[in-house]
Amino acid sequence: MSHSVACVICRSRKLKCDKTKPQCLRCLRSQVQCEYSTRHISPTSTKDVDNSKHVCTQCKKGKRKCSGTFPSCDRCQKLGKSCSYTLLRPLTEIEALEKFYDTIDSEANKKVVEILCQRTIERNFPFVAGNFLDPRFLFKLAMGEVSLSLTKAVVGMSLDMVVPEQRLVEFKNHWYTRHLSETLLASGKMKLDEFQALLVNIVWGCSTSSQKYFFLIPILSRMAYGLILNRELDWIKDDFEKERRRRMVWNVFVLDRMFSAGVPEFMSCDLRLLTIQPPAYDLESMASQVSESPFHTHLPPYHHPFNLFSLAVHLSQLRYNTLNCVKVMEKQHMKWWQEQSPTEPITHDIELTVELLPDHLHYSIENVSKMNNNEEKIFFINLHLLLLQIRCDVHRPVLYHLLYNRTIPDSDEIPPSKIEAAHEECMNHALLVSKIAQQNKHLIADAYNTVSMAFSLLEASRLMMYNVSPNPYQTHTHHSETLKHYINSNIEIINGSRWADPQTVNIFIQDLQNASQNLGIRHSNSGKNILLLSELHPAHALTQAASPTEDITADMGSPALAELNWPFDFPRNQLLPLF
């Protein structure tokens, strides 16, 4: 007789299927094709045994039904008993971890590896949930069709099942550091599985804000374009493989653009960015949602309406274009104040971006509160800070002279109205940055951000500091005491945030203190040279580390494999109010 059974995908992955037709819920969420087939079962056959379930030692001893969940089954968790599985032996010493790493492909470790890989996939990590792994990964693993490198990458994500909590960070770092070196050594003859392993490795490294992993993103992108170019999708017949490669190409593009724009905090802020379905290539079926880009500069096709994911990619590319445009202007001594300014296309793109934002993506307290969780809220705030920063970057040529020398070269040629307009706009942006920070300071204090928030707050503080004292181009009407309050509040927010790296923040603060003491006058021989805060941005620092003497106007994402060593040595004391 015949019975309705699980769909082909769930059955191959040994997962529970709700058996709804034409598409089960799991396949619908994963956006993969769902197929059913009818198989004949003999009346005398026994029930199918779910080999993915395992019985813990406590349930086995008491002959109780076990949920088989890790790291603790439901029964043990309810009774408060220690739960352990005979197949999973704890690794408490680094030597035991090394032995497990070296013998991961042995027959003795086969069952343990399957359990750890299954646990990783059940956790629904962004780089596992249909993005970088074939949905048939577990089936291929059981058949011995998965490369050793990719197996190690996936196993490493569930080491907490066999490693005590107090040593987990140390053991995971050791595991992935060794795996990274092995994968890079094999990069000359790398296949797709090895590339996937490297991708998982780097995304995990970025999620922990590790700079050495961040440095490897440009290397990864060059490998991606060489291994899985878009044109390969035309001749791949396997739908799963085609979808996997398409998502890998898209996510590597996102990583590369974010690196180029110098925003590594996006990776540590919300890794779920990489889980959202990338734009479809079938433009005919999405004619109502996808159109040619209306932007002047080289931006990706416009996918409307914006969502958080597409807006992040868009702003990263826009910042990349803005910094390049400004650097070219400064290098070639172009006149930004002319009617046909080189920054005009950038300004057009910025205004169009703001205009095309849907209502729910405009900044407001109400829109922040509507976000699903704190990670999404802080990411939303970061995007608006980045947008404000881009608007200030456009005026960098004039701000440089306003903040540093209090003079404008060839000032007779520059209409005063142009200077006042640029200064007024940047001051408004600076005050808005401070206002956003004040409104969300409790949320910001618990967020795992790295550079973006401190960078925005301290750049805003520098602009406001310039207006505290009289200057020839002061146009803002705010009282100096109000500006002092904003500056001190910004520093107070940084002091109360656990994400702020003391060494990096002290660089910013030292720069602000120099600015307050010198009122923007550069002392060429006094050792008190004032740094542009933008020079302390990761994109700039990485470029300098890679090639300090080469032309950096064309590519902000030059690879650098050495650790970033700041040439400053300020004390890690608590930051004090400037006023």
β-pairing, 290-291 vs 39-40, is unpaired
What is the predicted pLDDT for the residue at 543?
A: 31
Q: What are the structural domains of the chain? A: 2-40 (4.10.240.10), 124-275 (no CATH), 313-546 (no CATH)
Contact 559, 546 (CB under 8 A): yes
Contact 560, 501 (CB under 8 A): no
Beta-strand (E) ranges in 371-497? none
220 vs 477, which has greater pLDDT?
Answer: 220
Model confidence at 258: pLDDT above 80: no
Q: Can you tell me the mean pLDDT for 43-70? A: 60
Model confidence at 43: pLDDT above 50: no
Cα–Cα distance measured from residue 174 to residue 156, given in angstroms and rounded to the nearest whole number = 10
Beta-strand (E) ranges in 266-310? 290-291, 302-303
β-pairing, 290-291 vs 302-303, is antiparallel
Of the pLDDT bands very low, low, confident and very high (cuts 50, 70, 90), residue 574 is: very low
Closest CA to 157 of 107, 191, 205, 213: 205
What is the predicted pLDDT for the residue at 365?
A: 92
What is the predicted pLDDT for the residue at 252?
A: 67
3-class DSSP state for residue 303? Answer: strand
Phi first, then psi: give them for residue 502, nearest 5 degrees: -55, -40
Of the pLDDT bands very low, low, confident and very high (cuts 50, 70, 90), residue 132 is: low
Q: Which helix (H) or strand (E) holds 40?
A: strand 39-40
DSSP for 44-96, written as a single string = TPPPPP-TT----HHHHHHT------SSS-HHHHHHT-----TT-----SHHH
207 vs 440, which has greater pLDDT?
Answer: 440
Calculate the dihedral angle through the C-alpha atoms of 269, 270, 271, 272, rounding to the nearest 10 degrees: 180
Of the pLDDT bands very low, low, confident and very high (cuts 50, 70, 90), residue 460 is: confident
Cα–Cα distance measured from residue 142 to residue 109, given in angstroms and rounded to the nearest whole number = 12
Mean residue pLDDT across the chain:
67
Of the pLDDT bands very low, low, confident and very high (cuts 50, 70, 90), residue 231 is: very low
Model confidence at 552: pLDDT above 80: no
The lowest-confidence range among 34-38, 212-216, 565-569 is 565-569
Of the pLDDT bands very low, low, confident and very high (cuts 50, 70, 90), residue 515 is: low
Model confidence at 544: pLDDT above 50: no
Contact 398, 408 (CB under 8 A): yes
What is the predicted pLDDT for the residue at 572?
A: 31
Give the tokens for residue 94.
Answer: 């680094």
Q: Which helix (H) or strand (E) holds 39?
A: strand 39-40
Of the pLDDT bands very low, low, confident and very high (cuts 50, 70, 90), residue 19 is: confident
Q: Can you tell me the mean pLDDT for 245-274? A: 56
Q: Can you tell me the mean pLDDT for 156-165? A: 81
558 vs 147, which has greater pLDDT?
Answer: 147
Cα–Cα distance measured from residue 422 to residue 418, given in angstroms and rounded to the nearest whole number = 6
The lowest-confidence range among 159-163, 218-222, 354-358 is 218-222
What is the predicted pLDDT for the residue at 506?
A: 65
Give the tokens for residue 127.
Answer: 């780089």
The lowest-confidence range among 54-58, 205-209, 299-303 is 205-209
Long-range contacts of 140-144 (CB under 8 A, 24+ apart): 141/113, 141/114, 141/117, 142/114
Q: Which helix (H) or strand (E) holds 3?
A: strand 2-3
Of the pLDDT bands very low, low, confident and very high (cuts 50, 70, 90), residue 295 is: confident
Cα 380 to Cα 256, 269, 370, 432: the distances in Å are: 20, 10, 11, 15
Residue range 362-394, pLDDT digits in tens: 999 999 998 877 777 877 887 888 888 888 888
Report the sign of the C-alpha dihedral through residues 182, 184, 188, 193, in that order.
positive
Q: Which residues contact 543 (CB under 8 A, 6 or more apart)?
A: 552, 555, 556, 558, 560
Model confidence at 179: pLDDT above 70: yes
Please give the share of the chain, as a percent, with pLDDT higher than 70.
51
Model confidence at 571: pLDDT above 60: no
Q: How many degrees, rounded to 5, is the angle at CA 92 between CA 89 and CA 97?
A: 80
573 vs 182, which has greater pLDDT?
Answer: 182
191 vs 62, which has greater pLDDT?
Answer: 62
What is the predicted pLDDT for the residue at 45?
A: 36
Q: Which residues contact 217 (CB under 8 A, 6 or more apart)?
A: 202, 206, 255, 256, 258, 259, 557
The lowest-confidence range among 131-135, 196-200, 382-386 is 131-135
What is the predicted pLDDT for the residue at 160?
A: 79
Model confidence at 187: pLDDT above 60: no
Residue range 398-443, pLDDT digits in tens: 766 555 554 555 555 667 777 777 778 888 888 898 899 889 888 8
511 vs 287, which has greater pLDDT?
Answer: 511
Model confidence at 101: pLDDT above 50: yes
* pTM confidence score: 0.55
Contact 494, 457 (CB under 8 A): yes
464 vs 106, which has greater pLDDT?
Answer: 106
Contact 224, 195 (CB under 8 A): yes
Cα–Cα distance measured from residue 49 to residue 36, given in angstroms and rounded to the nearest whole number = 20
Q: Which residue's entry shows tokens 């080289």?
A: 298
Of the pLDDT bands very low, low, confident and very high (cuts 50, 70, 90), residue 505 is: low
Cα–Cα distance measured from residue 74 to residue 479, given in angstroms and rounded to the nearest whole number = 62
What is the predicted pLDDT for the residue at 363?
A: 92
What is the predicted pLDDT for the residue at 524?
A: 35
452 vs 111, which has greater pLDDT?
Answer: 111
Give the helix, strand, coil percentages of the chain, each rounded to 5: 55, 0, 40
The lowest-confidence range among 250-254, 316-320, 425-429, 549-553 is 549-553
Model confidence at 114: pLDDT above 70: yes
Indicate the length of the chain as a whole number: 579
453 vs 568, which has greater pLDDT?
Answer: 453
Q: Which helix (H) or strand (E) holds 2?
A: strand 2-3
What is the predicted pLDDT for the residue at 500?
A: 56
What is the predicted pLDDT for the residue at 536?
A: 37
Give the tokens for residue 147.
Answer: 């490369």
Q: Which residues pair with 40 in a beta bridge?
A: 2
Q: Can you tell me the mean pLDDT for 129-155? A: 79
131 vs 98, which has greater pLDDT?
Answer: 98
Cα–Cα distance measured from residue 403 to residue 522, given in angstroms and rounded to the nearest whole number = 10
547 vs 183, which has greater pLDDT?
Answer: 183
Q: Which helix (H) or strand (E) holds 26?
A: helix 25-30
Model confidence at 259: pLDDT above 80: no
